[in-house]
Structure 1
């Protein structure tokens, strides 16, 4: 039991030899040390999960998680060990502790994020499926957009050439019908004969047929060429579409984005997310807050005496060295 207690004293950054002389302070520093230690444990678990998400290797994740936990433990121990109780009141202590509190808040946010991802992993996995599909559809739309202008241009040219042929065919059919009606007496002069009027209308129909033949002769090769270009373009587009791979989108950044979106969509998850961060901020700041709230005790008095002793001892040594130096230099200066 004493070994565990002294270990927590070490975690609190206290001077163990002085703390043993202050039994009434033991519980306070044991609690501070335990908070620092378990915060480091949480940081190791959080960092291990974060690294596992990145590397997907249990051994590397455990190693990096342990390293990350030690870093956070050392920072927390440094924060609480450098805070000393002063005689200037709580306000002055809070002002002096504000940079340390800010650092503790930043550490709490960093520690809490991987654990939040684990807590909401099921919701995040469902959201990642939707985000992955959205990315896939955006890639398809991007390829479609690159080919749509060329495709529309070729289709427009083909449609214009076909329209020219169809217009001439329609004109030919109309003039041929008029000539036939003039010949059989169902139209025109309403007389059944192949007279001069019929010959004029027949000539017009023949001219329209010649124009249709010329149009087909000129346009058809162009249509075939444009259709081949369109087929090649569609083939190239199909090749690029088939090359798209549904790569798993489940990295750390993807999970954070999914968590952000589901927090905005679901109020319950949004508030749960806030409370988790607040909890870790409270855990991370608790050693600092405890040291600020705690009254100045015997340990603080002894620590001040010890520091004051070393300070005065240092000044005394410097003064003695200066005096001895002056004494040695007197014969040389006289």
Structure 2
């Protein structure tokens, strides 16, 4: 039962193969098994590839099965149409389109399994890329807020500078009236005279202005710091809003790109393995020796070709003979006077009718 199934997979003519030896049947069963297991591998690989895209088992299995059936049908068709010839080059030329297709399929099928085999290494590469993207994202978002924050910081520094300048002015006035009281500057009279009082009043007025300036600027600084805090909160919200996009940066294309950053040699050998698997049905058919089945099939096709050629030649002779007979029949009829008189009469009546119709039409126009 299993051998019959694999023979079906090989695409061989079972009527002819039944007349061959058991060894010949085993050979085609082996070719059919190669076709079958190639389709199984294609189903598994494509299902995993589709699972990485759709993240759904049912969808992956469904479309993976369709892909496997497509590969099975294609391999079975090509294997069954490769005829054993006396020239290996002619056989290889027949298989060239399938080999090129196998190259493409091997690339497509090998990649998903490479992604699975090197999953840990790819995750490490993706983690590094995500960290880089996170830092780059923060820097890009910061560019939107940095000018505003810098301007607000400059305002704070300006307000603090005003207070510092005023403090220096108050300190200078304090030193002035103290020096006047001690007789070190000004009038150089020891004691608290009118000049001292004048300088003391000037200092006290400046000190009051300083206190008012401190309170005013402190309120302004608090307001500006509140704005800076709001900008920082908005910036953090933007970072948290965009972070899920970076966290989700692990799709199929991202993983393929991450795989390309790993050493190429292991991936190359996996690709070669799948190329060998994809081309194995063709290679098995090309390497198999010409046997009784191929001879019987060639004999059957030759007999059919001879029969078709014979039938075509007979039809051509029949057409030629019928044409010659018709020519002779019509030549004989053309010599009969009765037929000539009858056709002359009808032609005369037809010309009269045409003349009458032309006369009526011209008369209606006039």
- Superposition deviation, residue 288 in structure 1: 2.0
* Equivalent-residue separation in structure 2 for 1:208 and 1:311 (angstroms): 122
SS at match of 1:86: coil
- Superposition deviation, residue 282 in structure 1: 1.2
* Equivalent-residue separation in structure 1 for 2:195 and 2:155 (angstroms): 39
From the superposition, tell whether residues 110 and 198 of structure 1 become closer, same or farther in structure 2 (CA, over 3 Å). Answer: same
- Partner in structure 2 of residue 6 of structure 1: 4
From the superposition, tell whether residues 207 and 259 of structure 1 become closer, same or farther in structure 2 (CA, over 3 Å). Answer: same
From the superposition, tell whether residues 203 and 88 of structure 1 become closer, same or farther in structure 2 (CA, over 3 Å). Answer: farther
- Partner in structure 2 of residue 43 of structure 1: 42
- How do 1:1-334 and structure 2 match up within 5 A? 3-23=1-21, 24-90=23-89, 92-124=90-122, 132=130, 135-185=133-183, 192-193=190-191, 223=221, 226-244=224-242, 246=244, 248-261=248-261, 263-264=262-263, 271-330=265-324, 331=326
- Superposition deviation, residue 124 in structure 1: 4.5
Deviates more, 1:34-43 or 1:308-317: 308-317
From the superposition, tell whether residues 86 and 151 of structure 1 become closer, same or farther in structure 2 (CA, over 3 Å). Answer: farther
* Equivalent-residue separation in structure 1 for 2:220 and 2:81 (angstroms): 85
* Equivalent-residue separation in structure 1 for 2:136 and 2:257 (angstroms): 17
From the superposition, tell whether residues 296 and 187 of structure 1 become closer, same or farther in structure 2 (CA, over 3 Å). Answer: farther
* Equivalent-residue separation in structure 1 for 2:195 and 2:93 (angstroms): 112
From the superposition, tell whether residues 177 and 76 of structure 1 become closer, same or farther in structure 2 (CA, over 3 Å). Answer: farther
- Superposition deviation, residue 41 in structure 1: 1.0
Q: Is the 8 A contact 1:48 1:65 kept in 2?
A: yes
- Superposition deviation, residue 34 in structure 1: 1.1
Question: TM-score scaled by structure 1?
Answer: 0.76
Deviations 1:262-319 (A, max 9, x none): x34xxxxx54433222211112122222333344444334333433444444444444
- Superposition deviation, residue 70 in structure 1: 0.9
Provide the alpha-carbon RMSD of the alignment. 3.9
From the superposition, tell whether residues 158 and 323 of structure 1 become closer, same or farther in structure 2 (CA, over 3 Å). Answer: farther
Deviations 1:22-67 (A, max 9, x none): 4354343222221111111112222233333344443333322222
Question: Any unmatched runs of 5+ in structure 2?
Answer: 332-366
* Equivalent-residue separation in structure 2 for 1:230 and 1:59 (angstroms): 52
Q: Is the 8 A contact 1:184 1:191 kept in 2?
A: yes
* Equivalent-residue separation in structure 1 for 2:200 and 2:12 (angstroms): 117
* Equivalent-residue separation in structure 2 for 1:252 and 1:8 (angstroms): 35
- Superposition deviation, residue 155 in structure 1: 1.9
- Superposition deviation, residue 104 in structure 1: 0.9
From the superposition, tell whether residues 97 and 181 of structure 1 become closer, same or farther in structure 2 (CA, over 3 Å). Answer: farther
SS at match of 2:300: helix
* Equivalent-residue separation in structure 2 for 1:125 and 1:27 (angstroms): 47
* Equivalent-residue separation in structure 2 for 1:46 and 1:167 (angstroms): 76
Question: TM-score scaled by structure 2?
Answer: 0.70
* Equivalent-residue separation in structure 2 for 1:62 and 1:83 (angstroms): 31
Q: Is the 8 A contact 1:112 1:277 kept in 2?
A: yes
From the superposition, tell whether residues 237 and 323 of structure 1 become closer, same or farther in structure 2 (CA, over 3 Å). Answer: same
- Superposition deviation, residue 325 in structure 1: 3.7
Larger Rg: 2
